[in-house]
Structure 1
Amino acid sequence: MVERASTPAGPNGKAVTADRPEDIRNMVLVGHPGSGKTTLVEALAVATGALTRAGRVEDGTCVSDYDDIEQRQHRSVQLSVVPVAWDGIKVNLVDTPGYADFVGELRAGLRAADAALFIISAAAGADGVGGPTLALWEECASVGMPRALVITHLDAARADFDDMARTCRELLGGGATESVLPLHLPVYGPAGADGHRPVTGLIDLLTQQVFDYSAGEHTRTEATPEQAALIEQARGQLIEGIIAESEDETLMNRYLEGEDIDLDTLVPDLERAVARGTFHPILLAAPPPEGAREGLGMVEVLDLITRGFPTPAEHPVAAARPGKGSAPTPLACDPAAPLAAEVIRTTSDPYVGKLSLVRVFAGTLRPDETVHVWGHTPGGNGEPEPDHDADERVGAISAPFGRQQRPVGEAVAGDIACVTKLGHAETGDTLSQKDSPLLIEPWPMPEPLLPVAVQAHSKADEDKLSQGLARLVAEDPAVHLEQNGRTHQLVLWCLGEAHRDVALERLRSRFGVQVDLVDHQVALRETFASGATGRGRHVKQSGGHGQYAICEIEVDPLPEGSGIEFVDKVVGGVVPRQFISSVEKGVRAQAARGVAAGYPLVDVRVTLFDGKAHSVDSSDAAFQTAGALALREAATAARLNLLEPIAEVNVTVPDDHVGTVLSDLSSRRGRVLGTEPISGARTVIRAEVPELELDRYAIDLRSLAHGAAQFTRSYARHEAMPGQLADSIRNRAHVST
């Protein structure tokens, strides 16, 4: 990009504002943990004057420390927005967590933004462009999101810019290596005592000028003969890439004929190719040295964001009207249009209460106006949830900046702002005009696959548990809450161990609820593997009316899914008609409690064929007890199977790790049904695996494939467990009782 003067933001503490969508850029920063995303955000804020010193707002706190959990754990666990101003443009920098456990926050950041900066650490080598980065790159490509790359940590030992750029071209270019090319080359200073040469400047391949950052300021110098030789080698490839990806055929013909293409022609082509999402420039960046205002490459990154990336109006989002069959239509990014906004994140602030981070897609959001809140039902069928179809008054509107909220008068289409007092709104909900409600299709969320069973720590915690869990799920849609009716456990489904730890910490510190972790139970079942008979005798006499009931039953196994079938074959009235249903009640109640290890009995036929009654002492309760006793006696005479749930699992894994994953599935008693190669050098493995073996699979698979694999699971059926394992579970059940 051509160098030009910067326009810093206002004094520290003042909100950056914009009146038109054309003056806004929403940029999400993504990358692997430790790549330097937050450091880059802080350096950009310093370069624009939004911060006085790296990472510090006026109260002395770090701009990246959104809450006390991030301060304690020294890592980002949720997205944060830092608005800065550059050359009259408001830039909303959306910083996202790098850990895979917080991909829900990353997806929210993608929805809030219109373009993405992929931050790649040169210190990480090829691992910096690993499986998670490749998957995210492809996801952005599928929706046409413009992308650029920023290489950081060039001062690290063994960091090599040329190798890193080559790796990015090969892995992210999608076969077209001219679509991922550097705009600049690094300038190295004198070697230090350790032999390492620091990066002190940049060579701009388009202008053929050198930008010197050695003194902490962006200054321009002329290229040396040695640098001119480097420019000549790389500049031709860059020009060819720009022309090819901008699809300017006339310009390509001129270039191939040997014509020298001037800068005034190249720069618009570059900006057009970047905005179209077909050309992805590589830039360099480093934080400013102590006491300096500008870090290496900050001016170049800001120029690319403001000049090369699209405005919100060029990245439309669709919304639908109420009613079935309403087709989503693109929203007009116009401040004068009807309001359409989406809640990107929900948090609780100790001073202002519930705080909603909102991206405005159309219209203008103003304080004290009444809006309609509409949310999706679970499963995304387009219908509103019962308590997510209401009118609410908007509270104060502010611009987020780290832990601070800076008041603003309104938020126009294309902008991101925080809103208070939206009591019903949750993450993913749509805000629109009360007389013309809209529903924006929510962004895709990963399925949480790590079960965490919890229970209240004390009676006081039990009283607050339901409210605390409701608030937790409202803030983090990546957490699913399950009240398992079969195991009677309260289960939080999370994305991984770090996600689990943060969820539990939020329950404790933010909502005042302490919970204990308990072993997660899988819904096992019991059934008869062979037929048997049983006799239930309940006879008691203790003065007055006694209890008298005798029944005899026969139990036979049935196919899977048959449930409990009760058959009456009593003849001669040995069991009076009014007590037949009592026997059935007793049998079904005992089946629900289990007959061997305490798990529900299923898929059997129970036939009542004989019994005895007393004209005075027989009763409904007596025959219920006799029916239960008869079933338990039959169980002692039969061979029983313990049934475990089987899940159908689809694992998407890079080809390099297929063997490791297959071996691991086999060790989990899994049956591989087939494999299918897909694009991106990946394979989908289909298998059936007992759910007992999947409790920690979300964690173990990440370790096996270095974070580059994903899986889905769905219930298939119950089937008999191996005898030795079943005996072990029965023995544990007997010990616990």
Structure 2
Amino acid sequence: MGVRTATQHGAAAGAPAADRPGSVRNVVLVGHSGAGKTTLVEALARAAGAVNRAGRVEDGTTLSDHDEIEHRQHRSVQLSLVPLEWDGVKINLLDTPGYADFVGELRAGLRAADAALFVVSAAQEADGVTAATRMVWDECAAVGMPRALVITHLEAARTGFEEMTEICRQVFGRDDPDAVLPLHLPLSGDPDGGGRAPLGGLAALLTGRVYDYTGGERAESPPGPGHRALIERARGRLIEGVIAESEDDNLLDHFLGGAEIDETPLVEDVRKAVARGTFHPVLAAAPALGDGRYGPGTVELLELITRAFPGPQERPAPQATTVDGAPCPPLSCDPRGPLAAEVVKTFSDPYVGRISLVRVFSGTLRPDEAVHVSGHGLADRGHQDHDVDERTGAVSVPFGGQQRPVAQVVAGDLACVARLGRAETGDTVSAHDHPLLVRPWEMPEPLLPVAVRAHGRADEDKLSQGLARLVAEDPTMRLEQNPDTGQMVLWVLGEAHREVALERLRSRHGVRVDTEPHRVGFRETFAERAAGHGRHVKQSGGHGQFAICAIEVEPLPAGSGVEFVDRVVGGAVPRQFVPSVEKGVRAQAARGIAAGHPLVDVRVTLLDGKAHSVDSSDAAFQTAGALALRDAAAGARLHLLEPVAEVRVTVPDEYVGAVLGDLSGRRGRVLGTEQSGGGVTLVRAEVPEAEISRYAIDLRSLTHGAGRFSRAYARHEPMPRALADRVRADAGRTD
């Protein structure tokens, strides 16, 4: 029986609508930047008939024409959805950025998907799969997500398919190498032998068939003599791996007895093992050959997705509660159930406004429907908790630069919803009369600070609103008004993330900003006791100003703040003016003494003073109190206090030495190391915040993307004198 072509399987419309959960497959593509994920998505779209041979949609655009920033960056910077149809199944392909700065987009894609395709480039990763890709694999394994591997760029690499498969077995099959095996072998155009590059076709190991792509579309052909030898050598290993995962004990007995195993139970066992997440097939894929519709491996991938990957009804939905946290029954992927959807991405359209990409876990979402929007748990990043009723606008499926309207979105499917003005990434959309809250996925912590200010007067009025919209779209950003320095600080994941954020702020929200060096919040304190005298006496005719006070300042333990003590005797300072002296002292302490940093951890004692029956006033004694504190500081030794952070670094064991040495060079104190299992070590240290402003970038470089860290404020402590003098000198030049 002949093999049907892709045009018989696919749908030219390119944006199908699912009518039941079983007809949906949600697949996220994961891989290093440059591995070929976007190219693979375009090849799959071409094979499914969603785009023409030139890779264009019906309106003439391509799948990536809608994002100018990506074109300027020459890389993917955001999650994108490409829906296809194959064999009556809607496939939602979620293309994620491979660059580490956009890991938030990757995590959103993982949340929306039910299976993952790991794209591994033979040209990039011949010496080993990147640590970042390995970490994502482990995350998927922890939740039992089904995974398959696609090897790309074989036609341009020195490393062949067998070598790359062995690398993948060692990296991804550490516990069970036989769970990572190829289903096909790539063949060159030579009918009598195999080649390294998938230029001609593929040999299916389970069925023994050979698929020839040299004509531009897949056609079945008999294997040549060289093909038979290749197939038989790899087929036995694959059958052993499949039988090991099989639930049919008779298959093993038949195999050990030398009996020929029928392909039907083998194919079914592969399907079940892939859906369970216990077997991970390896495939090869190549772009289109010449002007052909699709290249080798694309049809096989579409068949794997539709036949082996699980539908959304086979995967557990995230936990949901009522909006006040009370438990509720587990969600099921039932279109007739209560509505529960999650906003996995938010973006702005210049004509439509805010658009929310949602994954529906339960129920059915329709246009112009009253819904409830709940968002909890990200208040520390500028996303305040909220529970609001809204009405959905148009519901559509994105495809290239188009938004194609649909009548409804059933449980398990993804779509875009307009007019949800309060919805942010991570929010829950539920029925207005039965509001729910889905626990949000874990967001990476933004740890690179970027201090921004309005470029001009016209930008000042729009700055706050533009930044708020930017943060609402991307929960991996955090906005902070630093109370110590007064700077507006946007916290991001890395330099590329910063560039994209500032470009989006300019192009989408019409706000131009300038960046400035990020300043940490220094403080000052007295290192010893000191006395000060404040005299504010002015006569200019009429009522004058007269206030004199004497104080003593002494240091206190860290965290004590500023204490004020009144020890005046004999009414030298009238009782009504003692609070005035205190107000002046505290105001001067807040402004700073030597370098403009707040004064803390001191006790100021008012000892003596003088007043005038006519010329003394509240304002005069405030000024005298401030002058007395400055006079005490002028003759005393002061400590400049710098903030110290508690840092926790999680890093593979091979990088521990490099990390410890780097922390020591940052004036860090290592508190200890702990084995976290799986070849990973946790390093705990205390490091001055001034030394780790760029640590998010430096750690990534030091550990080749494998290191992660968190930081938390610990305390302020004295800075070394030489460094403190330099900071004070810089502050003087700035002033």
Amino acid in structure 2 at the alignment position of 1:526: E
Amino acid in structure 2 at the alignment position of 1:497: E
Give the 5 Å matches for 1:710-721: 710-721=708-719
Say which of 552, 555, 570 aligns to 1:554: 552
Please say which of residues 589-598 and 312-321 is displaced more in the overlay: 312-321
CA–CA distance in structure 2, aligned partners of residues 707 and 498 of structure 1? 14
Say which of 668, 671, 682 aligns to 2:669: 671
Displacement of 1:197: 6.2
Displacement of 1:261: 1.8
Are the aligned partners of 1:42 and 1:54 in contact in 2 as well (CA < 8 Å)? no
CA–CA distance in structure 2, aligned partners of residues 270 and 125 of structure 1? 27
- Residue number in structure 2 paired with 1:213: 213
Amino acid in structure 2 at the alignment position of 1:340: A
Are the aligned partners of 1:12 and 1:58 in contact in 2 as well (CA < 8 Å)? no
Secondary structure of 1:520's counterpart equals coil
- Residue number in structure 2 paired with 1:257: 257
- Residue number in structure 2 paired with 1:271: 271
**Residues 1:228 and 2:228 aligned together:** yes
Are the aligned partners of 2:28 and 2:93 in contact in 1 as well (CA < 8 Å)? yes
Amino acid in structure 2 at the alignment position of 1:311: G
Secondary structure of 2:116's counterpart equals strand
**Residues 1:685 and 2:720 aligned together:** no
- Residue number in structure 1 paired with 2:358: 358
- Residue number in structure 1 paired with 2:659: 661
Amino acid in structure 2 at the alignment position of 1:643: L
Do the aligned partners of residues 203 and 12 (structure 1) sit closer, same or farther apart at CA in structure 2, a change above 3 Å counting? closer
Structure 1, residues 143-201: CA drift from partner, whole Å, max 9, x if none?
A: 1110000000010131321111111001111321011111111212359xxx9866311
Secondary structure of 1:90's counterpart equals strand
Give the 5 Å matches for 1:31-70: 31-70=31-70
Stretches of structure 1 lacking an aligned partner (at least 5 in a row): none
Give the 5 Å matches for 1:445-594: 445-594=443-592
CA–CA distance in structure 2, aligned partners of residues 390 and 691 of structure 1? 39
Displacement of 1:637: 1.4
Say which of 611, 614, 624 aligns to 2:612: 614
Please say which of residues 54-63 and 601-610 is displaced more in the overlay: 54-63
Secondary structure of 2:200's counterpart equals strand
Displacement of 1:545: 1.0
Amino acid in structure 1 at the alignment position of 2:172: L
CA–CA distance in structure 2, aligned partners of residues 622 and 548 of structure 1? 6
CA–CA distance in structure 2, aligned partners of residues 523 and 239 of structure 1? 63
Displacement of 1:680: 3.0
Do the aligned partners of residues 269 and 54 (structure 1) sit closer, same or farther apart at CA in structure 2, a change above 3 Å counting? farther
CA–CA distance in structure 2, aligned partners of residues 380 and 734 of structure 1? 34
TM-score, normalization by structure 2 = 0.96
Give the 5 Å matches for 1:14-29: 15-29=15-29
Report the identity percentage: 67
Displacement of 1:223: 2.2
Give the 5 Å matches for 1:304-383: 304-322=304-322, 324-327=324-327, 329-378=329-378
Are the aligned partners of 2:154 and 2:196 in contact in 1 as well (CA < 8 Å)? no
Displacement of 1:599: 0.3
CA–CA distance in structure 2, aligned partners of residues 3 and 498 of structure 1? 46
Are the aligned partners of 1:30 and 1:118 in contact in 2 as well (CA < 8 Å)? yes
**Residues 1:202 and 2:202 aligned together:** yes
Amino acid in structure 2 at the alignment position of 1:154: L
Displacement of 1:423: 0.9
Structure 1, residues 60-119: CA drift from partner, whole Å, max 9, x if none?
A: 332024311112222111111111111111101111111111111111111111100000
**Residues 1:404 and 2:402 aligned together:** yes
- Residue number in structure 1 paired with 2:700: 702
Amino acid in structure 2 at the alignment position of 1:92: N
Displacement of 1:649: 0.9
CA–CA distance in structure 2, aligned partners of residues 385 and 551 of structure 1? 48
Amino acid in structure 1 at the alignment position of 2:99: Y
Are the aligned partners of 1:246 and 1:269 in contact in 2 as well (CA < 8 Å)? yes
Displacement of 1:228: 2.0
Are the aligned partners of 1:366 and 1:409 in contact in 2 as well (CA < 8 Å)? yes
CA–CA distance in structure 2, aligned partners of residues 123 and 261 of structure 1? 36
Secondary structure of 2:123's counterpart equals helix
Are the aligned partners of 1:650 and 1:685 in contact in 2 as well (CA < 8 Å)? yes
Please say which of residues 112-121 and 320-329 is displaced more in the overlay: 320-329
- Residue number in structure 1 paired with 2:289: 289
**Residues 1:116 and 2:116 aligned together:** yes
CA–CA distance in structure 2, aligned partners of residues 495 and 328 of structure 1? 35
Do the aligned partners of residues 201 and 401 (structure 1) sit closer, same or farther apart at CA in structure 2, a change above 3 Å counting? same
Do the aligned partners of residues 275 and 10 (structure 1) sit closer, same or farther apart at CA in structure 2, a change above 3 Å counting? closer
Are the aligned partners of 1:653 and 1:705 in contact in 2 as well (CA < 8 Å)? yes
Displacement of 1:51: 0.4
Are the aligned partners of 1:188 and 1:199 in contact in 2 as well (CA < 8 Å)? yes
Coordinate RMSD, CA, aligned: 2.0
Secondary structure of 2:98's counterpart equals coil
CA–CA distance in structure 1, aligned partners of residues 358 and 323 of structure 2? 24
TM-score, normalization by structure 1 = 0.96
Please say which of residues 126-135 and 478-487 is displaced more in the overlay: 126-135
Structure 1, residues 373-407: CA drift from partner, whole Å, max 9, x if none?
A: 111142699xx987731111111111111221111
Stretches of structure 2 lacking an aligned partner (at least 5 in a row): none
Amino acid in structure 2 at the alignment position of 1:96: T
CA–CA distance in structure 1, aligned partners of residues 647 and 468 of structure 2? 29
Are the aligned partners of 2:573 and 2:611 in contact in 1 as well (CA < 8 Å)? yes
**Residues 1:422 and 2:420 aligned together:** yes
Please say which of residues 251-260 and 698-707 is displaced more in the overlay: 251-260
Are the aligned partners of 1:55 and 1:64 in contact in 2 as well (CA < 8 Å)? no
Do the aligned partners of residues 611 and 19 (structure 1) sit closer, same or farther apart at CA in structure 2, a change above 3 Å counting? same
Displacement of 1:691: 0.3
Displacement of 1:126: 4.0
Displacement of 1:452: 0.2
Are the aligned partners of 1:117 and 1:149 in contact in 2 as well (CA < 8 Å)? yes
Are the aligned partners of 1:188 and 1:201 in contact in 2 as well (CA < 8 Å)? yes
CA–CA distance in structure 2, aligned partners of residues 77 and 400 of structure 1? 17
CA–CA distance in structure 2, aligned partners of residues 303 and 414 of structure 1? 20
CA–CA distance in structure 2, aligned partners of residues 362 and 537 of structure 1? 74
- Residue number in structure 2 paired with 1:623: 621
Amino acid in structure 1 at the alignment position of 2:272: R
Do the aligned partners of residues 128 and 57 (structure 1) sit closer, same or farther apart at CA in structure 2, a change above 3 Å counting? farther
CA–CA distance in structure 2, aligned partners of residues 182 and 11 of structure 1? 29
Please say which of residues 266-275 and 652-661 is displaced more in the overlay: 652-661
CA–CA distance in structure 1, aligned partners of residues 104 and 65 of structure 2? 18
Amino acid in structure 1 at the alignment position of 2:695: Y
Are the aligned partners of 1:153 and 1:159 in contact in 2 as well (CA < 8 Å)? no
Please say which of residues 355-364 and 58-67 is displaced more in the overlay: 58-67
CA–CA distance in structure 2, aligned partners of residues 493 and 38 of structure 1? 28
Displacement of 1:12: 4.6
CA–CA distance in structure 2, aligned partners of residues 174 and 65 of structure 1? 40
**Residues 1:299 and 2:299 aligned together:** yes
CA–CA distance in structure 2, aligned partners of residues 247 and 638 of structure 1? 81
Do the aligned partners of residues 377 and 603 (structure 1) sit closer, same or farther apart at CA in structure 2, a change above 3 Å counting? same
Are the aligned partners of 1:343 and 1:358 in contact in 2 as well (CA < 8 Å)? yes
Structure 1, residues 204-251: CA drift from partner, whole Å, max 9, x if none?
A: 110112111122221112223332222222212211211222444343
Displacement of 1:655: 2.0
- Residue number in structure 2 paired with 1:173: 173
**Residues 1:142 and 2:142 aligned together:** yes
CA–CA distance in structure 1, aligned partners of residues 287 and 358 of structure 2? 30
Secondary structure of 1:503's counterpart equals helix
Secondary structure of 1:155's counterpart equals helix
Are the aligned partners of 1:497 and 1:699 in contact in 2 as well (CA < 8 Å)? yes
